[in-house]
Structure 1
Amino acid sequence: MDRIYRHQRHVYDLTRRPYLLGREHLLDRLAPPPRGHVLEIACGTGRNLAGVLRRHPEVCVYGLDISAEMLATAAKRLGRRARLESGDARSFDAGALFGRQGFDGVILSYSLSMIPDWRGALSEAARHLAPGGELHVVDFGDQSCMPRWFDAGLRAWLRRFHVAPRDDLARALSAEAEAIGGTAVWAPLRRSYAQYGVLMRQA
């Protein structure tokens, strides 16, 4: 990952903006409590965490990423406003890394489509929710409302970067919610180009 992002990190946000749709939708709906704690898993350049702080300057934010190169960019952007640590989305010890086990908000933004064991990453994210916490997920959709040529072309292009839309994300999100005694909601965005879901843990 460091080899991939060593140079890409400098232009990542500019080049991804046209097609990583739905991220602002997620950030606008994230509603952590005052002085709450928000973790982004696979935080990349820190772009989303900066968005959280613009909307909720009183919260504490945390970022986890497997790439030291991306974390360097995130650290430059966020400075002391965030605690950033290196770790694997599929298995990490938040207590050891961040000094806390549960978070009021957890974000997965266009990351599950890049993680081979994405269900493991989803379970790990849900595991780190505090009582009453919410897991917000946005990623590529199933393109079911798009023309077939668009769907085929997008998936072929994404495969070049080892990215795959998770067509059964809604089902997986509901299963994770049931496993922790919570609830989940899901909706397609932009004619199913993207999808957005929220898993809510009981207080």
Structure 2
Amino acid sequence: MMAGEGHAALMDGVYRGQRHIYDLTRKYYLLGRDRLIDELMPPAGGHVLEVGCGTGRNLIAAARCWPGAHFHGIDISEEMLKTARAAIARAGLGRRVSVAQADATCFDPHGLFRIDRFDRIFQSYTLSMIPEWQDAIREAVRHLSAYGSLHIVDFGQQEEMPGWFRAALFGWLARFHVAPRALLVEAAREAANDIGGRLSVTRLHRGYAWSLRIDRHPR
């Protein structure tokens, strides 16, 4: 079994049951997602990709927030995509939102969506679940359009939170195969440098979450 196939099987196992209650439970601690969506500002007629789209919650919210753009999502878990497809259909957004199964560390936009580049790509609380998460960042920036941007929100290192809170949170997250990435900012900076881009970082809620943005500029 290939590494990606093993991770897909793991995620399907984790979310086969959880996908039905995922959005109800996660809204209390996946902070910063709606802030990320508000800041996407895709161009009219532009294309936006969510890497690790899960249940489709963010895609639906983003499509409603930015009605002039087209949205796409990939996820390694077919179980999660079952929920996403049903939710997108119920929202009446089937013509503007499409999803497909793919590995965040290596995917072919043209083969999946007949699109070569995206104006915006976002990764919301997904890097902390991807074993080769640095590769996922590099793969995302590789598919940005000339003036595209990558938006990331994920768990921070709880810099200003009590030590007991950090220990309890990290222990609980580990039960769901979630590991906040201490080197997230450094990895994003390297990816930005590779494309001659610019990185901006905002720490949210006393370091509970980190919000990052990489802007690409043509060379």
TM range, smaller chain = over 0.9
Q: Does 1:50 align with 2:46?
A: no
2:173 counterpart residue number? 158
Alpha-carbon distance in 1 for matches of 2:83, 2:193: 37
Per the normalisation by structure 1, the TM-score is: 0.97
Contact 2:129 2:178 in 1 (8 A): yes
Structure-to-structure mapping, 1:18-33, within 5 angstroms: 18-33=28-43
Contact 2:50 2:73 in 1 (8 A): yes
Q: Secondary structure at the match of 1:139?
A: strand
2:140 counterpart residue number? 125
Instruction: Kindly tell me the number of residue pairs found equivalent between the two proteins.
Output: 203
1:71 corresponds to which of 73, 81, 84: 81
Shift of 1:115: 0.6
Equivalent position amino acid for 1:90 in 2:
T
Alpha-carbon distance in 1 for matches of 2:39, 2:148: 13
Contact 2:14 2:176 in 1 (8 A): no
1:34 counterpart residue number? 44
Equivalent position amino acid for 2:114 in 1:
G
Per the normalisation by structure 2, the TM-score is: 0.90
Aligned-pair identity (%): 50
Shift of 1:51: 1.1
2:104 counterpart residue number? 89
Q: Secondary structure at the match of 2:73?
A: strand
Unpaired segments ≥5 residues, structure 1? none
After superposition, the CA RMSD in angstroms is 0.9
Shift of 1:3: 2.1
Q: After the TM superposition, which parts of structure 1 deviate over 4 Å for at least 4 consecutive aligned residues?
A: none
Cα distance per residue 1:57-96 (max 9 Å; x no partner): 1211001011111111111111313111101001111111
Alpha-carbon distance in 2 for matches of 1:3, 1:147: 33
Q: Secondary structure at the match of 1:18?
A: coil
